[in-house]
Amino acid sequence: MTLAFEFATATRIVFGPGKVSEAASEAAALGFRALVVGGSRPGRLQPLLEKLHSARVGYTLFSVAGEPTLPLVSAGIARAGEEGCATVIGCGGGSVLDAAKAIAALLTNPGDPLEYLEVVGRGNPLARPPAPCICLPTTAGTGCEVTRNAVLIAPEQRVKVSLRSPMMLPRLAVVDPELTRSLPPSLTASTGLDALTQLVEPLLSVRSNPLTDSLCRDGIRRAALWLRAACEDGDNMEARENMALASLFGGLALANAGLGAVHGLAAPLGGMFPVPHGIVCARLLPGALRANLSALRARVPGSPALARMDEVARLLTGEARARAEEGIEWLERLVADLGLPRLGAFGLGRTDLGAIALAGLRSSSMRGNPLPLEHEELCAILESAL
């Protein structure tokens, strides 16, 4: 077998407690005023803002209260232009970092964002490199500080789509576990299950490679061992550090190996219903694994993905002889124990499943799934999460 693959990530990754200062040093070296993109709780930016002030970096704040939409990104670009900001620093959860990356990309590529968007747009490549972008995650979930895309909501089309380019990889990713300390248990749980999904799907992806495999295996072990502990005690820094690493590894893996059916369905579902992405992942993952297991056994019984599904079970449970079904049951117990709501709580009903499944078939994430799933199989995954 001839092996060939590519691996790309942020220009520089810094990991460890107290590393926020690295973002200020990088911003100071760039010499530009920065647009600081944060979430709905400005207090969480304080460690970063103090370091920027000490480094004499001028900045303008821009708030992202929810998941980023095309109008919000346009507003951020306008704000950066008005204030003369040529650097973008994102400090927050996945929505904040996606908004920051999109603003940085479109700040130097003016015009209609639909020119560059996948699925609902024309998908044209960026003509110019984005403005320098620095990302600091305050959750352990998305890993988007090291990915080459930004997930945005297109309100008119009611779908989540990606702005994607190899040039969108951040200049610097600072992963400081201390920034996740104040995350409440519910968000720790949902973002942690997002991280776990983004480790399981790349390991099963048709685009996996030895480098992403090693990241996924290590990350799954860490998440399986430490997610409960992080939810139970947010000040447990050993748990926070392990979950921050798991999230980082998931981001590195998905950026280079792709995802699968969970994220293929999450894109249209998140655009149609106000459900947090981590909860979507948590509720769809067991059903997606069951659907893949059944389909592989029926249609591709010799697939290497079947052995990998058993491996996922062993990594999750710590049992040397665990089979795929036991891993799925372990995940179902974890999601139930962490008290995450079912998707019906957000308005999803059986009459919506067909349209979401149809849209999911067109999603770019679906191309990484271990095999093509049928429309009826995708509907069954969604129904298992109601």
Q: How confident is the model at residue 161 (pLDDT cuts 50, 70, 90)?
A: confident
CB neighbourhood size of 166 (10 A):
12
State residue 118's pLDDT score: 82
What residues have CB less than 8 Å from 174, skipping those under 6 apart? 14, 19, 20, 22, 23, 134, 135, 136, 145
Mean pLDDT of the chain: 95
SS3 sequence of the chain: CCCCCCCCCCCCEEECCCCHHHHHHHHHHHCCEEEEEECCCHHHHHHHHHHHHHCCCCEEEEECCCCCEHHHHHHHHHHHHHHCEEEEEEEECHHHHHHHHHHHHHHCCCCCHHHCECCCCCCCCCCCCCCCEEEEECCCCCCHHHCCEEEEEECCCCEEEEEECHHHCCCEEEECHHHHCCCCHHHHHHHHHHHHHHHHHHHHCCCCCHHHHHHHHHHHHHHHHHHHHHHHCCCCHHHHHHHHHHHHHHHHHHHHHCCCHHHHHHHHHHHHCCCCHHHHHHHHHHHHHHHHHHHHHHHCCCCHHHHHHHHHHHHHHCCCCCCHHHHHHHHHHHHHHCCCCCHHHHCCCHHHHHHHHHHHHCCHHHHHCCCCCCHHHHHHHHHHCC
Q: Is the pLDDT of residue 1 over 80?
A: no
pLDDT tens-place string over residues 297-314:
999 999 999 999 999 999
Q: Is the pLDDT of residue 139 over 90?
A: yes
Q: Is the pLDDT of residue 2 over 80?
A: no
The mean-pLDDT minimum among 36-45, 102-111, 174-183, 241-250 falls in 36-45
The CA dihedral of 279, 250, 94, 381, to the nearest 10 degrees, is -30
pLDDT tens-place string over residues 81-137:
999 999 999 999 999 999 999 999 999 998 888 889 887 778 889 999 999 999 999
pLDDT tens-place string over residues 369-382:
999 999 999 999 99
Q: How confident is the model at residue 203 (pLDDT cuts 50, 70, 90)?
A: very high
State residue 185's pLDDT score: 97
Please state, in angstroms and as integers, the Cα–Cα distance from residue 5 to each residue in 92, 147, 307, following that order: 31, 17, 22
Residue 122 CB-half CA count within 13 A: 9
The mean-pLDDT minimum among 70-79, 114-123, 282-291, 319-328 falls in 114-123
What CA–CA distance (Å, rounded) separates 150 from 96? 10
Q: Residue 21 has which token pair?
A: 């200062």
Q: Are 134 and 14 in contact (CB under 8 A)?
A: no
**Domains, the chain, ordered by start:** 13-180 (3.40.50.1970), 185-384 (1.20.1090.10)
Residue holding tokens 């890993």? 143
Q: Are 119 and 159 in contact (CB under 8 A)?
A: yes
What CA–CA distance (Å, rounded) separates 265 from 377? 12
pTM, two decimal places: 0.96
